[in-house]
Amino acid sequence: MWIVIAVLFVIIEAFTLGLTTIWFALGALSAMLVAMIDVGIVGQIFVFLIASGVFVYFTRPIAKKYLKIGTTKTNVNSVVGLVGIVTKEIEPFNTGQVKVAGQIWTAKAYDNKEIEKNIKVEVIKVEGVKLIVKRKQEK
């Protein structure tokens, strides 16, 4: 019975890929090992619950850190830190346009100051569909 439950949790994990149910599959395998030494069903359920909880609590944060589950950068977030060039002047408290990584974006100055056309800028953050930029400091 526990092997069927473990397989079921593995199948669910394969479809969700969220590192959620795999820990319960490990709990079910722990309960199966206890069942093999003739522990009653109440003991097996107790081991399943405790083992699942321990696996979730101690190993999930480590797995998420190293497997980087749920932290994939989207195209929008990947432009932060890149350098672009102003293609349409950014006026104070208004927007202009910036070309970053081959794409034209609406942009606003981080300090709300004017940035002239053909000036290099660095992307500070993304707000909605606008880039927030600042003048690139030349070295």
pLDDT tens-place values along the chain, 139 residues long: 898 999 998 888 888 767 778 889 999 999 999 999 999 999 999 999 999 999 888 887 777 777 665 555 556 677 888 999 999 999 999 999 999 988 899 999 999 999 999 999 999 998 888 999 999 886 5
Residue 117 included in any domain: yes
Could you identify the residue written with the tokens 């974006």?
105
- What integer pLDDT is reported at residue 95 of this predicted model? 93
Q: Which residue in 100, 103, 101, 106 sits closest to 88, CA to CA? A: 106
Q: What is the CATH number of the domain that holds 112?
A: 2.40.50.140
Q: Give the chain's domain count.
A: 2
Residue 115 lies in a domain: yes
Domain that holds residue 39: 2-67
Shared-domain flag, residues 19 and 58: yes
Instruction: Report the alpha-carbon distance of residue 86 to residue 124 in Å, rounded.
Output: 14
Residue 54 belongs to some domain of the structure = yes
Residue 72 in any domain: the answer is no
Surface-to-core class of residue 120, CB atoms within 10 Å of its CB (0-12 exposed, 13-18 middle, 19+ buried): middle
> What is the pLDDT at residue 67?
66
Residue 78, SS3? helix
Residues 63, 90 within the same domain:
no
pLDDT of amino acid 137: 80
Q: Say which residue the tokens 């927030």 belong to.
A: 132
